[in-house]
Amino acid sequence: MPGERKIEAWLTDMDGVLVHEEKAIPGANEFIGALRDKGTPFLLLTNNSIYTPRDLRARLANSGIEVDETSIWTSALATARFLSDQVANGSAFAVGEAGLTTALYEAGYTMTDRDPEYVVLGETRTYSFEAITKAIRLIKGGARFICTNPDTTGPSAEGPLPATGAVAALITAATGREPYFVGKPNPMMFRSALNRIGAHSETTAMVGDRMDTDIIAGMEAGLTTFLVLTGSTARGDVGKFPFRPSYVVDSVADLTGRV
């Protein structure tokens, strides 16, 4: 067991940690309420690039969890921050929905399909063959290839849907160009989140339900990591990975007393 480190800020995943199938996980609202009441800096992280923070705030409110939209950090926002740091006020051809395009606009980017500096691929409920074809041609023409996250599938009521990582593989097969993925498990998403709330890795914790994204990225970013068992990873699965979380707890309800 690692030595105790003082925790002064928290990052937490959403699906599988705070909500499951649009319903709040027991204890989630109390955990967020404790953070808010004590003025502890925190951000909710998601690889989902479809929705804006305002959309996600409303979805969480419908689940019974009240957070301000400024407390939500998406892979689209992290991607926009990354691009702005790389090329200020640049241009991009974006394949995605409002979560991505809004983030890029607010970062000063111009959306264009005429010689853009970047092709940015995010999630969308309906990938357009026309848009994918345009992306392939622009990348072959010299545009740099960026993806919001590497998730290969996303959930739906009917079953899995192809997501960013799967479509990125198609584009890579057609162009020979590998993308740069900004979202989890890239620890860059965590570092941008830390910068957003003015926190330091040594005194920040990450709460997640997936060993292969939340925990490994938190570990690589130097955070204390808490694996909750209310989502993708079961207790018996932890030993299958060559790395371990700092702590394993049953649910986020067990963390309220640590805030």
From 21-25, 81-85, 86-90, 182-186, the region with the lowest mean pLDDT? 21-25
What is the band of 155 on the pLDDT scale with cuts at 50, 70, 90? Answer: confident
User: By C-alpha distance, which of 7, 69, 3, 28 is closest to 209?
Assistant: 28
pLDDT of residue 22: 85
Query: Which residues are known catalytic residues?
Result: 13, 15
Residue 156 pLDDT greater than 80, yes or no: no
Q: Is 21 left (phi over 0), alpha (psi -120 to 50) or beta?
A: left
pTM metric for this prediction:
0.94
pLDDT of residue 161: 85
Helical (H) or strand (E) element with 204: strand 204-208
Mean pLDDT of 44-51: 96
Residue 1 pLDDT greater than 50, yes or no: no
Q: Cβ-count burial of 253 within 10 angstroms (0-12 exposed, 13-18 middle, 19+ buried)? A: middle
Mean residue pLDDT of the chain comes to 95
Q: Are 244 and 218 in contact (CB under 8 A)?
A: no
Contacts of 134 (CB under 8 A, 6+ apart): 93, 113
Q: What is the pLDDT of residues 172-220, one digit of tens each?
A: 999 999 999 999 999 999 999 999 999 999 999 999 999 999 999 999 9
Residue 118 pLDDT greater than 90, yes or no: yes
Mean pLDDT of 25-52: 96
Residue 2 pLDDT greater than 70, yes or no: no
Task: Return the sign of the alpha-carbon dihedral for residues 207, 42, 46, 205.
Answer: negative
pLDDT of residue 160: 83
Give 3-state DSSP helix, strand, coil % of the chain, rounded to 5.
Answer: 40, 20, 40
